[in-house]
Amino acid sequence: MSSVKLSFAGTTAITGVGYTAFSKNSGRTVTSLAIEACRNAINDAGLRASDVDGIVSFSWAGDSVNGQAVATGLALPGLNYALDMSLGGQAPSFAVMHAAMAVASGMATHVLVYRALNGRSGQRVGSTQPNSPTTQYRIPMGFIAFPQVLAMWARRYMVETGATERDLAAVVLQQREYAVRNERAITKRPLSLDDYLAAPWVVEPFRTVDCTSEVDGACAVLVTSLERARDLAVPPAVIDGGAWATGQGSGLDPSDQLSWPDYSRNCQSMLAPRLWASSTLGPREVDFAEIYDCFSAVVLMGLEGLLLVDRGEAGDFVRRGETKPTGRLPVNTHGGLLCEGYLHGMNTVAEAVMQVQGRAGERQLARHESCVVSSGALMDGSAMVLRVDK
């Protein structure tokens, strides 16, 4: 193991976690949400704002504010590292790794990573028509928004692996069960298979309940060296390994799938070999998984892409209950983006950290020493392995 040597793997950690409330209409600016989540993460770690000297963030089509706005609002004395990425769900793990690289290289000491948006009351990614070079080949005919883009992948995945709507249903039903134990979750009404099958279509093969819930809110984590993290207020979640990757033909813009050969294998399949080569753990050794889930089918593709189960076995794995709290590999313990809300996967990372730290309250897993967390569902994406301090 660890044939890919990363300077930050095993030497950096995530410490504090901060959230705002998640809502359908925050009535606040994105700047205000970002500052609150970041302040909460700093306080959670037992640090002062003046300890922070780096900020990493990401936004989609200009839906957020940059790190320097947050630094200004927090009255930081200055910054030694700042990065604002124009990315969506592929970014959260990548953003944390940028922070970890800044720490491991010595450029910065304590680095905030956040995602903030009014994703429901403001600019909604689910119905946004991006102005990019390849939308001319789909929008005129009515192939417009992300639910449709991801549905095209889901259909091909189902054709190739034999996955059925019962497999998609199993993902949705189980994540609803987790969401009941999550006070933050926007969608927590328990769902039966009959309820699932009766839900209206958005774009086949997705029903309304297969789609994430857009929310207003913010979420932040604080990254520092493992050595420093050991002295802070919460246990370190050690960054044990990580990867960002894509393959050839990743497209002319972030929603261009025309040049991607295989819609049944996304970025998680591309990054998995490097991810596990960078980690001290293997794919069948982690205790749980937090898998990016803008749509239900992405969980199945992630389970297989990350090599957590064999190709074509994800649906059966979920239907057997293996991803429940008592199963072999609990998955999306906060209810996922489907139920907790669409913070573009920053909250997926935060949940992974809270579970590893043993602070997930009512939904805390019994086995939580290590996990894999993924970010992204299309051509490019990222993932990390997190673990307790040994």
Partner 1 sequence: MTGPVTEEEMPVGLAPTVDIDSAWWWQALDAGRFMLPRCRECCRHFFPPISSCPHCGAQDIEHVSASDEGSVYSWIVVHIPQHPVFDGTPPYTILAVDLAEGPRIFGRLLRGGPVQPGAAVRLLPYRVQEHALIGFELLSDVAAADRS
Q: What is the contact surface with partner 1 in residues (CB under 8 A)?
A: 126-127, 129, 131, 133-145, 147-148, 151-153, 155-156, 159, 200-205, 249, 252, 256, 258-259, 263
Catalytic residue among 19, 81, 263, 292: 292
- Min CB(151)–partner 1 separation in Å: 4
Beta bridge partners of 289: 331, 372
- Structure tokens that stand for 26 in this block: 């925050």
- Structure tokens that stand for 202 in this block: 């958005």
In the bound state with partner 1, the residue whose beta carbon lies nearer, of 135 and 280, is: 135
The answer to whether residue 292 is catalytic is yes
Please give the distance of CA 343 from its chain centroid, rounded to a whole number: 8
CA distance 108 to 261: 40
Cis peptide preceding 205, ω within 30 of 0: yes
Catalytic residue among 81, 178, 196, 342: 342
CA distance 55 to 300: 33
CA distance 260 to 258: 6
- Sequence-separated (6 or more) residues with CB below 8 Å from residue 91: 58, 85, 115, 344, 345, 375, 376, 382
Q: What strands lie across the sheet with 81-86, from one edge to the other? A: 81-86, 54-59, 111-118, 216-225, 12-19, 237-245, 381-387, 370-375, 288-290
- Min CB(295)–partner 1 separation in Å: 12
CA distance 302 to 26: 31
Please give the distance of CA 62 from its chain centroid, rounded to a whole number: 19
In the bound state with partner 1, the residue whose beta carbon lies nearer, of 227 and 262, is: 262
In the bound state with partner 1, the residue whose beta carbon lies nearer, of 198 and 201, is: 201
In the bound state with partner 1, the residue whose beta carbon lies nearer, of 249 and 312, is: 249
- Structure tokens that stand for 121 in this block: 């009351």
The answer to whether residue 342 is catalytic is yes
CA distance 70 to 66: 7
- Min CB(270)–partner 1 separation in Å: 17
Which helix (H) or strand (E) segment holds residue 225: the answer is strand 216-225
- Min CB(176)–partner 1 separation in Å: 21
Listed residue (315, 29, 281) closest to 168, CA to CA: 315
- Min CB(206)–partner 1 separation in Å: 9
In the bound state with partner 1, the residue whose beta carbon lies nearer, of 249 and 327, is: 249
In the bound state with partner 1, the residue whose beta carbon lies nearer, of 78 and 140, is: 140
Cβ count within 10 A of residue 11: 15
In the bound state with partner 1, the residue whose beta carbon lies nearer, of 124 and 181, is: 124
Strands 288-290 and 370-375: parallel
What amino acid positions are annotated as catalytic residues? 292, 342
